[in-house]
Structure 1
Amino acid sequence: MSAAAVSYTVGILTVSDSASVDHALDKSGPLLETLLLETGKYTVLNRTVVPDEINAIQNIIKTWSNLHLVIITGGTGFSPRDVTPEAVKPLLTRETPGITHLLLSSSLAVTPFAALSRPVTGIRDKTMIITLPGSPKACQENMSAILNLLPHALDLLTDQKSVKQFHEKLQQQQPKEPEEPKQPPKEIHRCRHDREEDSTQLSGQSVLLETPVSRRLRSSPYPAIRIDRAIKIVGEHARRLNILSMPVSQFLPGYVLAENVSSLEPVPGYRASTVDGYAVHVEDGPGIYPVESVSLAQATTCTTLSRGKIARVTTGGMVPDGANAVVMVEDTKLIRSSEDGQDELEIEICASAHSGENIREKGSDCEVGQLIARQGQRVGSELGTLVSVGVRHVKVYRKPRVGVLSSGNEVLDHLHTDLLKPGQIRDTNRMTLLAAIAVAGYEGVDLGIVDDDVDEMTERLEEALSKVDVLITTGGVSMGEADFMKPILEQKMDATVHFGRVLMKPGKPTTFATVPQGKRGEKLVFALAGNPVSAMVGFHLFVVPALRRMAGWEKPEHGLVPVKIEEDIHLDARPEYHRVQVRIDHGGLVATSTGAQQSSRMLSLVEANGLLQLPMRTPEITLLRKGTSVPCILIGGLTK
């Protein structure tokens, strides 16, 4: 398929009773859309969720009969509600047993429980239909097995000319009888990109710090690893911190509970009125009654209401014993008051009441011992609930302290610098990262700037790690003469550099290391690139999920949302995180580029609230057209 060719149209159907009620529970549908979009060969025109009902499934399939491909996830198991195969089979004009076998065999290679799945694949006229399990993990495994053959299968269905070209190419690739070489074979040329990906030739270890500049390496010894692999490595080392007890106060939101929390007191703690009015005996009915007592919200004792009398109560006030309803003040009339007009003596009840009306019984909102918050839950609006049930202290996971250290002889503090001399720059990274740490909900520690001097850098790094749980540095991680960060970590601090480059744009030199701390385990170090945009992208991709995991989040990873781009975007040779402004438009999300995306251009971060996850450029696809749906990481609030 050429870059200008029309991509295959796809519909993704999730079959789930629960997800049809709450679409946020649908994890497989968005995952499948992301997997397809990453190839650059598909346009997802429809994605929806229906319950496990044959008619609902069939109606969607019939409606999507104009699409090239329909993928259905869920409803293929043994449960009585799993009816997807029964819904799909009657609609097929031809079955595709080879694809079905491939799906089963790929899953069986992972787990024998895959034998309990009932996949169905086939063709309805010129639409291919594939059913997958409901589990996101199984969906990804199955799609990986068939993703490369789908384009050829769809071309066969639509009689594309490329099919003939494809088979001719296969014929040309058949092995021929070897011929005697007339001359020695030439050495195969390896381009720079190939060298970077050939990890077998890379040591993953810096040269000695004392190595003269003339003998320094001319290319990085660290393999450029995939982004998903880098994220996984960080996750393996970002472990939950210790548990501490915190008072229930305004400082608690954002912490993650390390225990289940139950109510210590009933809510309400007494029979309370929900309105301003009069407590009555329902049996007395409408009429004129003397006012026996008054119950205000701050009352601490409760009286007993006599038959044939009423008591004035305020909202939240105690309802007297014996009373079984409260009549709103709007349904009453004043008949007689005291001579000074200060007290009500007789009131006419103008409306009938039913038992329990406008009364909150003791413990009706929450009983003693009732679970009100669970372990792993982030405290937010629950703060008021904790207060209301008498909880004064809770156990939470400690949040990590994050230090930020800038490096470079040319880097100057903006507060102490009036005019820059040639070759000098203001330290934007430190302020930007400290602000981002605060927005993420963590404590940032300003560690200042360190010059490009091995001894000073070593001392400052050691001092920094004694103060914080996570250290972020910027600069000194590329291939320059004074880029000492990696060798200092390895040779001076006994650190393990888990990766020194990532196949991404921007932020390729991003480095992650752990420094041993004896019995205290290890500290995490993120050595980010010096360019400000590279540093911020690396922070959001790698540091934020690590901080969340250390703070006890159950799902620390970034969520991806599909957005439609408002202009054509040319792809890069590396997967790219393109800064965009995401807004809500007609119920959907649209993204506008922030302009030129150079890693040094801070203006590309202005008002950016999203990072488009762009695939790498391939011969088949070099750009994404306006209107294409692209997965995006939200790093800020949405606007209209």
Structure 2
Amino acid sequence: MAMYRFTILTVSDRCSRNESVDTSGPLLQQLIKDYDDRFYVLDYQIVSDDKNVLKEFLIRWSNRSDVDCILTTGGTGLTSRDITPETTAEIIEKEVPGISLALISSSLSITPMAMLSRMKCGILNQTLIINLPGSYKACKECFDVIKPVLKHAIDQLKDSNEVDMLHRTMHNNLKSKVNKAPVADRERHSPFEMISIKEAQLRIFTEIGPYFQSDRNEMVIPAKILHKAFNLVLAHDVFASVPLPPFDASTKDGYAVIAEDGKGNRNVLSKASIAGLNEVTRIDRGFCARISTGAAVPAGANAVVQVEDTELIMKTQDDEEKVINIKTIPAVGQDIRLIGSDIPVDNLNPLITKYRRLSSIDLGLIAATGAKEIKVFRRPKIAVLSTGDEIVSAGQHRSWNCVWDSNRTVLMSLLLQFEVFDLGITPDSADSILNCLNEAMQNADVIITTGGVSMGERDLLKKVLKEDFNADIHFGRINLKPGKPTTFSTTTYNGKKKYIFSLPGNPVSAFVTFKIFVEPFLQLLSGKYFDFKKQKEANPMQKLLKWIKCKVVLDKPYQIDTRPEFVRAVITFSSLSFPEAKLTESNQTSSRLLNVMNSNGLLFIPSNQDGQKFLENGDFVDAILF
């Protein structure tokens, strides 16, 4: 969660000379501390009513990356030494007149003397500067006016995702049905049965069919932007409606000839057959015509002689070729691509079959056969959400008891080929989770969350899904390490089926479960489902993973867990033996993202329930390649 960092500057000649005790500065410190546990004061100083000194402090603090807001107190009156508003006006880049107006307006409702106060507010280097009066009472009254907007103002200046969260909440302020139970009454055991990895995958696959029943989620790609269909799944067969090449074409730069004329001299026609521009209508015996690679072979000609096998005998007065000598005997069809020789017209056998993931070559073939458009399956839209009071967005200030959110960064980088809606971070509040999920359902087909699915007292995600969205939770525990609390649920929202993958909060667990469950699911939802439905595969999700057999290289035996485990490893290949796999680290803790950094695969180690307690050097295991 974001922290909000303040500095306080008391501007007073008498306080700076210790002739008077400053009460407003300490008051502001206490007010900031008491208002919100994410508000804290970085620095507090007293300066004289000296323009240069005041300016130096304001600029120096504004240049600090850890200062969000500067509150000044004092120097806002009418005396010759009251220069705080003028100094502030000189340095700010933008004025925020609304805050100044609110302060004056509120103060006027209390005392007419507020007409004599000249409070200024503005921005310098993404730092908010607010001038407050010097009196203790006025300072407290003015802080009460500005405190409701301070968070939002600072978030806007920091381009924080909390701005979006607030805007969403303002427009979509739903209240959750989940009642906060006393901690002592929380569940001590998960109500969800522990299922196998295979069973979890089958339950996911079973839920895909309805996604395509009411809406096959197809989209049309016109020929002029065929490249945008790269890696999408074709929704129909594509047939070659025209031959390729669509005419007899030369494969060389040379001369179109009649093979039966043999070798010897030929009269050269004045016009030539150039690719895309065929000026020659016909060639008769004893004549030839210049021709370029890819150009149509003129009527009458049945061979092409490359220019290297000719010599010039006579030129015209305009230095054009008049007579050449053919030095070799041409054969019928020589250096000619016959019409349809690459791709013949075929309305029975598809050139590209439906349910194929389109490569660049596939798209080139479709373009070459003159298709005006194709239909492909649209990729699902995805929303990504992190949950947790202790999570802070990358790049934002972090208090000592919080961590930066790495899960969203990892997941969104794995989803670059999809349209992704970033929901940011939600605290562990049922209302906040409800509103974020509600917005996700409005914008996405698939929602991926991390955190909030274990047995903690503030792990509320499953309850919100069940009570607020009437979601079917198909599983909430998997016999798997890492990733036991992984949850998969579905619901219907505005008549559309929605899929929710709730992954554990630990970074490695989130990564591994994404690879095992979410990634193959997204391939199926992008159209591969029909391919496997046609083949009636027993477990299509397993089929989509790249399994290989590896020999393990270990410095010491690896203790096998009671649950099946996916261990991060570096897999190397040799033509002389089986691929070899070495663990990235002996420490395979699910919170330690470092053990994934150099890996290129996951080793699958069955549980020790089969009797084997340790994985030994040289043992063979199955592995999934990334």
Normalised by the length of structure 2, the TM-score is 0.65
1:631–1:307 CA distance, 2 compared to 1 (3 A):
same
8 Å CA contact 1:429–1:532 kept in 2: the answer is: yes
Q: In the alignment, does 2:583 pair up with 1:593?
A: yes
8 Å CA contact 2:256–2:298 kept in 1: the answer is: yes
Which whole-Å CA distance do the structure 1 matches of 2:448 and 2:298 have between them? 62
Question: What pairs with 1:481-492 in structure 2 (closer than 5 Å)?
Answer: 481-492=457-468
Q: What is the Cα deviation at residue 570 of structure 1?
A: 3.2
Q: In the alignment, does 2:216 pair up with 1:246?
A: no
Give the unaligned 5+ runs of structure 2.
Answer: 1-176, 533-539
Residue number in structure 1 paired with 2:568: 579
Which whole-Å CA distance do the structure 1 matches of 2:310 and 2:597 have between them? 60
Aligned AA (1:260) = D
Question: What pairs with 1:224-623 in structure 2 (closer than 5 Å)?
Answer: 224-239=194-209, 240=212, 241-248=216-223, 249-292=226-269, 293-300=271-278, 302-339=280-317, 341=319, 343-370=320-347, 371-380=350-359, 381-415=361-395, 417-418=396-397, 420-438=398-416, 441-517=417-493, 519-520=495-496, 522-553=497-528, 554-555=531-532, 557=541, 558-567=545-554, 568-586=557-575, 588-595=578-585, 596-618=587-609, 620-623=611-614
Which whole-Å CA distance do the structure 2 matches of 1:625 and 1:484 have between them? 41
Question: What pairs with 1:178-193 in structure 2 (closer than 5 Å)?
Answer: none
Question: What pairs with 1:114-263 in structure 2 (closer than 5 Å)?
Answer: 209-239=179-209, 240=212, 241-248=216-223, 249-263=226-240
Which secondary structure does the structure 2 equivalent of 1:552 belong to? helix
Which whole-Å CA distance do the structure 2 matches of 1:230 and 1:210 have between them? 30
Which whole-Å CA distance do the structure 2 matches of 1:302 and 1:604 have between them? 69
8 Å CA contact 2:247–2:338 kept in 1: the answer is: yes
Which secondary structure does the structure 1 equivalent of 2:408 belong to? helix
8 Å CA contact 1:565–1:626 kept in 2: the answer is: yes
Residue number in structure 2 paired with 1:103: none
Map Cα deviations across residues 547-593 of structure 1 (whole Å, 9 max, x no partner).
11111112453231222222254321111111122232236532222
Q: In the alignment, does 2:607 pair up with 1:631?
A: no
Question: What pairs with 1:46-85 in structure 2 (closer than 5 Å)?
Answer: none
CA RMSD of aligned residues (A): 1.9
Q: What is the Cα deviation at residue 368 of structure 1?
A: 3.2
1:340–1:626 CA distance, 2 compared to 1 (3 A):
farther
Q: What is the Cα deviation at residue 330 of structure 1?
A: 2.2
Runs of 4+ in 1 over 6 A off after TM superposition: none
Which whole-Å CA distance do the structure 2 matches of 1:361 and 1:443 have between them? 44
1:223–1:278 CA distance, 2 compared to 1 (3 A):
same
8 Å CA contact 1:238–1:524 kept in 2: the answer is: no
Q: What is the Cα deviation at residue 298 of structure 1?
A: 1.9
Q: What is the Cα deviation at residue 516 of structure 1?
A: 2.0
8 Å CA contact 1:209–1:487 kept in 2: the answer is: no
8 Å CA contact 1:577–1:611 kept in 2: the answer is: yes
Which whole-Å CA distance do the structure 2 matches of 1:290 and 1:351 have between them? 16
Which whole-Å CA distance do the structure 1 matches of 2:408 and 2:459 have between them? 18
8 Å CA contact 1:225–1:503 kept in 2: the answer is: yes
1:467–1:619 CA distance, 2 compared to 1 (3 A):
closer
Which secondary structure does the structure 2 equivalent of 1:262 belong to? coil
Which whole-Å CA distance do the structure 2 matches of 1:584 and 1:346 have between them? 62
Which whole-Å CA distance do the structure 2 matches of 1:274 and 1:628 have between them? 56
8 Å CA contact 2:441–2:493 kept in 1: the answer is: no
8 Å CA contact 1:404–1:472 kept in 2: the answer is: yes
8 Å CA contact 2:273–2:279 kept in 1: the answer is: no
Residue number in structure 1 paired with 2:166: none
Which whole-Å CA distance do the structure 2 matches of 1:379 and 1:569 have between them? 42
Paired residues in the alignment total 423
Q: What is the Cα deviation at residue 286 of structure 1?
A: 1.0
Which secondary structure does the structure 2 equivalent of 1:498 belong to? strand
Which secondary structure does the structure 1 equivalent of 2:424 belong to? strand
1:431–1:458 CA distance, 2 compared to 1 (3 A):
same
Which whole-Å CA distance do the structure 2 matches of 1:366 and 1:282 have between them? 26
Which whole-Å CA distance do the structure 1 matches of 2:206 and 2:430 have between them? 30
8 Å CA contact 1:452–1:482 kept in 2: the answer is: yes
1:333–1:571 CA distance, 2 compared to 1 (3 A):
farther
Normalised by the length of structure 1, the TM-score is 0.64
Which secondary structure does the structure 1 equivalent of 2:242 belong to? coil
Aligned AA (2:328) = A
Which secondary structure does the structure 2 equivalent of 1:530 belong to? coil
Q: What is the Cα deviation at residue 238 of structure 1?
A: 2.1
Which whole-Å CA distance do the structure 1 matches of 2:198 and 2:401 have between them? 37
Aligned AA (1:348) = N
Give the unaligned 5+ runs of structure 1.
Answer: 1-206, 636-640
8 Å CA contact 1:238–1:547 kept in 2: the answer is: no
Which whole-Å CA distance do the structure 1 matches of 2:591 and 2:441 have between them? 28
Q: What is the Cα deviation at residue 316 of structure 1?
A: 0.2
8 Å CA contact 1:533–1:600 kept in 2: the answer is: yes
1:211–1:302 CA distance, 2 compared to 1 (3 A):
farther
Q: What is the Cα deviation at residue 456 of structure 1?
A: 1.1
1:507–1:450 CA distance, 2 compared to 1 (3 A):
same
Which whole-Å CA distance do the structure 2 matches of 1:485 and 1:302 have between them? 75
Which whole-Å CA distance do the structure 2 matches of 1:274 and 1:577 have between them? 55
1:486–1:421 CA distance, 2 compared to 1 (3 A):
same
Aligned AA (1:309) = F
Q: What is the Cα deviation at residue 619 of structure 1?
A: 6.4
Which whole-Å CA distance do the structure 1 matches of 2:551 and 2:309 have between them? 56
Residue number in structure 2 paired with 1:7: none
Q: What is the Cα deviation at residue 348 of structure 1?
A: 1.6
